[in-house]
């Protein structure tokens, strides 16, 4: 975080990387003009579950009218001047309130699906402009791969020629409010430059990249949730190349050497009871 802006947002410069932990959105046009959204939580690869033990996280989702998927389609209809409808089913795998951009990625998927399903013909740049009105992270999920995001997050500069990256990701049992974390964070007096980290990634020097991981929001999040420090200590005991909080938390990640390394670390962390653990890799 670089500074607080006059519009109430914060000026940021951040490196974002998509990973292969994703939700699935099903879209079907509804000739009646109604928008309907059903949310389910996946219990396995592509398998939604309605069992009692899986309902807790879904119960934390906002009412369907406040879901970013619905807001995305309502905004797209207004911009297009149409009254088309849709029936949508959202299968959740990305933990919520974790700093992983789950809601933002769902909104981006909804824009792409509706643009095609309704045959609107909006260009990628037009969709990006609409997405920026929904949230600072949404434009990133319309890009192709890792990117540096600036402004309040809506200015997306894709990065080419980075190595495939493998991570261990932990989502503690409690989440955090993004607004609360930003409110508690103080702008940087001396900002960290992304240039050394980008150079290390482009050259494939993962050891150097791990040492350069940094999140300005982490100290503020640590004050608001004990899980950040617990996660940091758990990763510090592992032989990961580097570790840091993801976004505004509470998810925490470690950079690994390769897929087998990520799976080994994930098994150890899972046994320690730090939360939900995922071995993931970067993707486009």
Q: And the tokens for 166?
A: 């493998």
Fold match, 19-142 / 166-281: no
pLDDT at 220: 95
Question: How sure is the predictor about 10, in pLDDT bands with cuts at 50, 70 and 90?
Answer: low
Residue 54's pLDDT is 40
171: left (phi over 0), alpha (psi -120 to 50) or beta: beta
Q: Which CATH number fits domain 166-281: 3.40.50.300, 3.40.50.280, 3.30.70.890, 3.40.50.1820?
A: 3.30.70.890
How high is the mean pLDDT of the chain?
89
**255 has pLDDT over 50:** yes
Among the listed residues 242, 233, 131, 231, the one whose alpha carbon sits nearest the alpha carbon of residue 175: 231
Q: Which of 269, 198, 194 has its CA nearest to residue 236?
A: 269
**Residue 101 Rama label (left phi>0; alpha psi -120 to 50; beta):** left
What percent of the chain is helix, strand and coil (3-state, nearest 5)?
Answer: 40, 25, 40
State residue 153's pLDDT score: 77
CATH class of 19-142: alpha beta
Decide if pLDDT at 47 tops 90. Answer: no
Instruction: Give the residue, 188 or 202, on which the prediction is more confident.
Output: 202
Quick: pLDDT tens for 101-129. Answer: 999 999 999 999 999 999 999 999 999 99
pLDDT of amino acid 243: 98
- Specify whether the CB–CB gap between 171 and 95 falls below 8 A: yes
Predicted local distance difference test score (pLDDT) of residue 66: 83
Lowest mean pLDDT among 57-71, 159-173, 207-221: 57-71
For the entire predicted model, the pTM comes to 0.90
Beta carbons of 35 and 70 less than 8 angstroms apart: yes
User: Quick check: 253 and 244 in contact, CB under 8 A?
Assistant: yes
Contact 108, 115 (CB under 8 A): no
| Residue 53 pLDDT | 35
Residue 58 predicted with pLDDT over 70: no
Torsional sign, CA 158, 161, 162, 164: positive
Q: Is residue 165 predicted with pLDDT exceeding 70? A: yes
Domain ranges within the chain, ordered by starting residue: 19-142, 166-281
Split at pLDDT 50, 70, 90, the class of 7 is low
- Give the pLDDT score at 45: 43
Q: How many CA atoms lie within 13 A of 281 on its CB side?
A: 13
Report the 3 state secondary structure along 33-100: CCEEEEEEEEEECCEEECCHHHHHHHHCCCCHHHCHHHHHHHHHHHHHCCCCEEEEEEEECCCCCCCC
Query: Please, which pLDDT band fits residue 284 given cuts at 50, 70 and 90?
Result: confident
What is the per-residue pLDDT across 192-229, written as a single tens digit (0 to 9) for each? 899 999 999 999 999 999 999 999 999 999 999 999 99
Four-residue CA torsion sign, 220, 224, 227, 229: positive
Predicted confidence band of residue 144 (pLDDT cuts 50, 70, 90)? confident
Q: Is the pLDDT of residue 173 over 50?
A: yes
Looking at residue 41, what is its pLDDT?
Answer: 87
């Amino acid at each position: 975080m670089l500074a607080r802006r006059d519009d109430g947002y914060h000026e940021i410069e951040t490196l974002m990387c998509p990973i292969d932990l994703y939700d699935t959105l099903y879209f079907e046009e509804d000739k009646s003009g109604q928008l309907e959204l059903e949310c389910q939580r996946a219990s396995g690869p592509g398998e939604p579950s309605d069992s009692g033990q899986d309902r807790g996280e879904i119960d934390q989702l906002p009412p369907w009218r406040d879901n970013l998927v619905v807001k995305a389609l309502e905004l797209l209809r207004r911009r297009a001047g149409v009254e088309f409808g849709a029936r949508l089913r959202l299968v959740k795998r990305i933990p919520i309130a974790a700093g992983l951009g789950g809601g933002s990625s769902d909104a981006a998927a909804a824009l792409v699906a509706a643009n095609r399903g309704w045959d609107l013909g909006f260009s990628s740049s037009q969709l990006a402009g609409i997405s920026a009105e929904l949230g600072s992270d949404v434009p990133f999920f319309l890009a192709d791969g890792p990117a540096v995001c600036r402004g309040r997050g809506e200015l997306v500069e894709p990065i080419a020629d980075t190595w495939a990256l493998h991570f261990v990701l932990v989502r503690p049992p409690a989440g955090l409010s993004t607004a609360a974390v930003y409110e508690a964070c103080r702008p940087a007096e001396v900002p960290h430059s992304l240039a050394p980290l980008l150079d290390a990634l482009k050259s494939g020097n993962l050891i150097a990249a791990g040492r350069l991981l940094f999140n300005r929001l982490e100290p503020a999040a640590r004050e608001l949730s004990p899980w950040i420090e617990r996660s940091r200590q758990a990763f510090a005991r592992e032989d990961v190349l580097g570790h840091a909080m993801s976004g505004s938390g509470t998810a925490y990640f470690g950079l690994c050497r390769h897929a087998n390394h990520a799976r080994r670390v994930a098994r150890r962390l899972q046994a320690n009871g730090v939360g939900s653990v995922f071995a993931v890799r970067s993707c486009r």
